[in-house]
């Protein structure tokens, strides 16, 4: 195994952009691949997470894998080592990570920034780490498009408004109309959605009398947020980065 612990200064020298706010406690780097990782402590939930990043063709390190809400520093390190070792041993994964199909590489910026279509969803299926590069509004458009493909009639609320429902979705038939409000949060991988957002969405849910509310995030949810949402188990769903990746598998 070629995953070695390094100093923070060595990690910083890689030029990896930080998007989160929680303190890093240990840093690692592969001697075989342009692969690095860090173990992070959540000072609020007192749990641990890890993040793995890899160097892309443009020289930028981007998120490829991670896990949150782990019980201890040791658990986070073990998970990081297991994931990094699996990536190293896969061999073929290196090519897939660093080499993009010619069609996707030709105009990557316009692919992500213009309209959301099936080609964009196919691209994000192969490169889910690029979800973090979408603007918040484009992330909302992506979620709306996926829901439309699932059979919902969707409406995006105005981009300037922040009223706890970025997307209004209906399933209508001859018997009933099923109203769903969706709140989208395009957060960094280690910036977990907290209990405050859950309470805001619950408040709007009751005021607007929706059948169901859903919070969708590129990140994950704090343990307090999960507990709060459980009080409305049949009316509020939480969808995180793992769920979005599962949705994209249909494309």
Under the banding of pLDDT at 50, 70 and 90, the label for residue 156 is confident
Q: How far apart are CA 103 and CA 229, in angstroms?
A: 42
Q: Specify the pLDDT at position 159.
A: 57
Structure letter (DSSP) for residue 131: G
In this predicted structure, the answer to whether residue 186 has a pLDDT above a threshold of 50 is yes
185 or 102, higher pLDDT: 185
Q: Look at residue 86 and tell me whether its pLDDT is greater than 90.
A: no
Contacts of 64 (CB under 8 A, 6+ apart): 52, 53, 54, 87, 97, 129
- The domain ranges of the chain are 3-99, 111-248
| Region of poorest pLDDT, from 18-32, 45-59, 154-168, 169-183 | 154-168
Is pLDDT of 26 > 70?
yes
DSSP string, 91-150: SHHHHHHH---HHHHHTHHHHHHS---HHHHHHHHH-GGGGGGS-HHHHHHHHHHHHHHT
Write down the mean pLDDT value for the chain: 81
**164-169: average pLDDT:** 75
Tell me the CA distances in angstroms from 158 to 155, 168, 211, one per residue in order.
Answer: 9, 11, 21
How many Cβ atoms sit within 10 Å of the Cβ of residue 14?
A: 14
The whole-model pTM stands at 0.62
Fold agreement between 3-99 and 111-248: no
- Local confidence band at 216 (pLDDT 50, 70, 90 cut-offs): very high
Q: Mean pLDDT lowest for which of 4-13, 20-29, 33-42, 142-151?
A: 20-29
- pLDDT for residue 110 is more than 50: no
pLDDT reading at 29 higher than 50: yes
Q: Where is pLDDT greater, at 120 or 112?
A: 120
Topology of domain 3-99, CATH: Double Stranded RNA Binding Domain (3.30.160)
Question: What are the φ and ψ backbone dihedral angles of 222, each rounded to 5 degrees?
Answer: -70, 160
Domain at 111-248, CATH class = alpha beta
Query: Which band of pLDDT confidence, cut at 50, 70 and 90, is reported for residue 19?
Result: low
């Amino acid at each position: 195994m070629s995953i070695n612990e390094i100093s923070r200064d060595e990690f910083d020298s890689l030029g990896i952009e930080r998007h989160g706010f929680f303190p890093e406690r240990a840093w690692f780097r592969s001697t075989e691949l342009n692969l690095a990782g860090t173990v992070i402590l959540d000072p609020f939930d007192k749990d641990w997470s890890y993040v793995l990043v890899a160097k892309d063709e443009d020289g930028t390190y981007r998120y490829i894998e991670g896990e949150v809400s782990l019980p201890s520093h040791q658990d986070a390190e073990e998970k990081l080592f297991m994931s990094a070792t699996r990536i190293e041993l896969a061999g073929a994964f290196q090519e897939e990570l660093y080499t993009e199909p010619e069609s996707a590489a030709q105009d990557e910026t316009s692919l992500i920034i213009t309209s959301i279509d099936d080609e964009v969803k196919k691209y994000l299926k192969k490169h889910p780490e690029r979800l973090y590069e979408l603007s918040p509004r484009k992330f909302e458009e992506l979620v709306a498009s996926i829901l439309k493909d699932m059979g919902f009639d969707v409406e995006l609320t105005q981009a300037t408004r922040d009223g706890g429902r970025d997307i209004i979705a209906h399933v209508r038939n001859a018997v009933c109309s099923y109203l769903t409000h969706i709140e989208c949060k395009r957060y960094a991988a280690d910036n977990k959605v907290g209990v405050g957002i859950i309470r805001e969405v619950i408040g709007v849910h009751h005021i607007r009398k929706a059948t169901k509310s859903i919070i969708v995030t590129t990140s994950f949810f704090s343990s307090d947020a999960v507990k709060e949402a459980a009080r409305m188990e049949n009316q509020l769903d939480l969808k995180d980065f793992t769920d979005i990746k599962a949705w994209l598998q249909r494309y």
